[in-house]
Structure 1
Amino acid sequence: MKIEQSPELSVICFETQTSLSTLGPFVRHKARELYKVAADTGLEVLGPIYWIYQGADGLPDTPFQLTIALPIAPTSSPWQSETFTLKVLPAFRYVSQRHQGPWELLGQTYGELIGYLQQQGLQMSGENRELYLRMNFEQPAHHLTEVQVGVLP
């Protein structure tokens, strides 16, 4: 594993306060809505759906900020929505690992990443990202997710 840094990223996104135990209603639905809005408004999609967790601690009922984001080409066109916003995510410093399989087992991947950070004496930033590279709801063993755990400088 190594520390990486992603550049700023233009996105269309949905933001909410939630907890791990109340994520269910956002799975699939918000991604579909984001892709539809992007297509309907002519926004150019540049990558997979991101789920960004700010302040999640792994406990089911701890509230945190969730951002579900779809990377797009930067745009200066006027655009507005009651549900979604355009924004630029700041550069992000992280360690990552790919997880193949059901999302219920993502905790194991997080555990490996956090263990690595502890061994290296690095401190987490409090932000984690999941990039959904391949989704297969009929066969969750085929999901492919990149898990990114934020690292402080």
Structure 2
Amino acid sequence: RGGSLEQWVLSPHPLALLVLIKVLAHWVFSGLALVLLSPLLALMLGLPVQCLPVLMVSLLLGTPVLSLLGALGAALTVGLKRGGLLLALLILPLYIPVLILGSGALQAALQGMPATGYLLWLGSLAALAITLTPFAIAAGLKISIGE
């Protein structure tokens, strides 16, 4: 609408890098705040203190994946008039593994079992998302503006 998306595509900088920086800025103001406030909120909800590191690590690994997947969905539906429902249908199934792994890690910590397996899988998803999703978002943006 305002032409800023076209300016991003026409920029001499790689679009995937610009997208990654934009999503990282979004994550710093939303996801990182959640990670930093989670111990206080968890203690208020009665979570044992020994589970707080697992909670924080799982949020630290999971929230960037959720931000990147949300940006991917937004990039794919940016040109549509009513893309909200399609956005939910595209992105919610991709959120489920992240949510299962994060809650599984916390559940394992609550039961006194090691949560490293869950956290390693969550870290793998985070590495995969940080590596590949900016390129997919850039491709989706280029397609949506018709380049």
Q: Highest CA radius of gyration, 1 or 2?
A: 2
Structure with the higher strand share, 1 or 2: 1
Q: Same fold (TM over 0.5)?
A: no
Structure with the higher helix share, 1 or 2: 2
- Relative to the length of structure 2, the TM-score reads 0.28
- Relative to the length of structure 1, the TM-score reads 0.28
